[in-house]
Amino acid sequence: MCAAKVAAVATGTGRQVILDSAVANMNERGYHGTSMRDIARGADITVASIYHHFASKQEILQDIMVRALHDAIAMTRGALLRSGGAPADQLQALMRAWVMFHTTRQLDAMVGATEIRSLDDAGRRLVVALRDEQEHLFRDVVERGVEEGDFATEFPRDAVRGIINMGQSVCTWWHADGPLKPEELAERYADLALAMVKPTV
Amino acid sequence: MCAAKVAAVATGTGRQVILDSAVANMNERGYHGTSMRDIARGADITVASIYHHFASKQEILQDIMVRALHDAIAMTRGALLRSGGAPADQLQALMRAWVMFHTTRQLDAMVGATEIRSLDDAGRRLVVALRDEQEHLFRDVVERGVEEGDFATEFPRDAVRGIINMGQSVCTWWHADGPLKPEELAERYADLALAMVKPTV
DNA sequence: ACATTGTTACCGAACGATCGCTAGAGCGGG
DNA sequence: CCCGCTCTAGCGATCGTTCGGTAACAATGT
């Protein structure tokens, strides 16, 4: 909680301090388990002050999730553009970025992955649309790989689902002080993802 | 909520009606988002009656999670014993059972996967121990496959993590009225799991 | 030069609603 | 007549949210 405040003070506006505290708290107890008073305490301000920056608790959650998903898409799309033209290279680049996001932005990713059910209808529609966009990034690459004979999977759709979910789950168990650095884990998972689509040769 | 009650009345005791309602409610709004009054309404009894069967809301959650994880271990262990002796067969049998659990027992699996943070210390220790047991079931098979030269993965541990998480995630997106029956999905995921450990030949 | 105004950021106090949980009484079957 | 189970009623605490006000500061009017 104090760490969240320090980081936010160093990097951003009053809005950011609140978001950082909210993310930290929701990681420990979830959206409904986190009170506005918890968020205020972590941001070192009062509850009333939060309402100067956000209209409601719900708006805080939506802000967190939309930002996180937007950044995830930006990171994976960027990695895709920077990679070579071969489907195998592209898939590995996507997976590396996907895992990097779920380690370096672990707390945001965790909230983004687990709190969809806590969004109201409007927020849920927004987030689902962003998720679809993310899934299409992977799907297009794998389907092209199948068409061009680089991948031999019989079920590209299921492979993509598995790949995305596997990478997403990283945020549930990875620890910064564990044995694997984000880059190392990303490399291994890129390898796993490629194996799942059964590359020819 | 009504469905939960009907199912429970048909199958079990007063305790079971409460558990079914709790699982259904927690799937929609999570542990902290579900009130004892929500659970009571779904079970068609009063709040006070719940406390005749359970000491607290926390005990309900622990009961749900321990039961679910226990059953998951039983299903996968049974599948393992019924399978052939080859590591590839065993891994596929494990994954089929793992996916079958996360489809046919979707709601329980969902609570078991997302509400660890809502457990108190005692409950968390119990659940973590069961999870370890589950992971070892997969790990032993994959490590034996590597030792005997059937699998060529360089990173068995990471492959096992990916396999387990991929199967677990099924409970977050699968729908009973979707295109895939549990058996079909289980078959495809067993195939994916095998590919991830890079079987020789 | 000083007073006035508007804006931004924050705060203490409190609103009605709902939270987990409990006391005590009612009721049907052995 | 007690026992298993349910009920009504309500406890104190906490929930998301709102209200009225204060302090700081820049822009403006005179």
For B147, the domain range is 55-194
Closest nucleotide relative to residue A45's CA, C1' based: C10
| Tally of domains within chain A | 2
Domain membership of residue A119 (yes or no) is yes
Distance CA A67, CA A52 (A): 20
- Which residue in chain B has the smallest CA separation from A157? B188
Q: Which amino acid is at B102?
A: H
**Could you tell me if A107 and A144 lie in one domain?**
yes
Cβ distance of B29 and A161 shorter than 8 Å = no
**Could you tell me if A107 and A190 lie in one domain?**
yes
Angle made by CA atoms A99, B98, B126, in degrees to the nearest 5: 85
Q: How confident is the model at residue B14 (pLDDT cuts 50, 70, 90)?
A: confident
**Tokens matching residue A18:** 């609140």
Chain B from 172 to 201: CB within 8 A of any A CB: 172-173, 185, 188-189, 191-192, 195-196, 198
Domain membership of residue A201 (yes or no) is no
Q: How confident is the model at residue A12 (pLDDT cuts 50, 70, 90)?
A: low
Positions of chain D reached by protein Cβ under 7 A: 5-10, 14-20
- What's the predicted TM-score (pTM) here? 0.93
Chain A residues with CB-CB distance to B195 below 8 A: 195-196, 198
> CB-based contact (8 Å) between A86 and chain B?
no
State phi, psi for B153 to the nearest 5 degrees.
-55, 145
Q: Which residue has the tokens 């262990």?
A: B77
Reply yes or no on whether the pLDDT at A73 is more than 50. Answer: yes
Reply yes or no on whether the pLDDT at B34 is more than 70. Answer: yes
* CB-CB contact of A153 with A92 (8 Å): no
Q: How confident is the model at residue B13 (pLDDT cuts 50, 70, 90)?
A: confident
Collect all residues with Cβ–Cβ distance below 8 Å to A187 and sequence separation of at least 6: A96
> CB-based contact (8 Å) between A131 and chain B?
no
Tens of pLDDT, residues A112-171: 999 999 999 999 999 999 999 999 999 999 999 999 999 999 999 999 999 999 999 999
> CB-based contact (8 Å) between B120 and chain A?
no
Q: Which residue has the tokens 């399978």?
A: B83
For the CA of B49 and the C1' of C27, the distance in angstroms is: 14
Q: What proportion of chain A, given as a percentage, has pLDDT over 70?
A: 94
Positions of chain C reached by protein Cβ under 7 A: 9-14, 18-24
Alpha-carbon gap: B138 to the closest alpha carbon of chain A (Å): 16
**Could you tell me if B104 and B152 lie in one domain?**
yes
* CB-CB contact of A168 with B169 (8 Å): yes
**Could you tell me if B74 and B158 lie in one domain?**
yes
**Could you tell me if A162 and A104 lie in one domain?**
yes
